[in-house]
Structure 1
């Protein structure tokens, strides 16, 4: 693919929904790739989802933010582009009661990918791999619950800040 120069205007264009949708369309025209596409919200999300999908049948593309992911999906759907899904963080849509009616737009089960991982057995694996068994035992409380309760306060403050400017 042709990469834009480092001009700020061209760099911004590189991350535009139309540019990303065009990249995906071009990939589909390449006879070497006929699989489906998963549009991820950001770089970290794309790296995680790449490890969870069959890369021979599904290519993960980074939209660089949630708004772009939704717009790229909409652009491709208007063109009847088959085999594309987008997955984005639910973020505060859960608290605000925002309803997603697009079956090709998937939301995380919790606030974001990180909180989904926190609720999964991954936490125990990380603690087992990187934590001290004795320190975990000495903590005396449920680590998962402590982390969630601590983050909840910050999350509500972020939501209030965004909601009320």
Structure 2
């Protein structure tokens, strides 16, 4: 069980062609393919379990980078077993993933850009009311990008100052 046609030919001291003829004549190709799949699956499972023992705190991505062939085989052919033997997820130390403050200096840079855009828009059109769309166009960001930046207090204040400003 689990032998290849070449192994059978070597054990029986016959040619590989004779073994293939016997397989074709007796319609055994499906059995050989199933046995080969079982053998490859068993090999991939042992490799995966060895990786889990060797790197107990590693993530699935790291284990995949270490042994990509075993991971791909199991992912394509034995996903249920792979999910049962998935590495434990690390426990999060913080409840929030991101801080409410901007990375160092990013909010100040955005405020400076908003002030420059405000001056350029004032110089361009003295009659129009300030709008978020005009500010986004002047900054070269999408409305979603500006909305994300407005989570930072300094940027929110700069945008409110721009929207509340009257064109003089």
Bigger Rg, structure 1 or 2: 2
Scaled to the shorter chain, the TM-score interval is under 0.3
**TM-score, normalised via structure 2 length:** 0.23
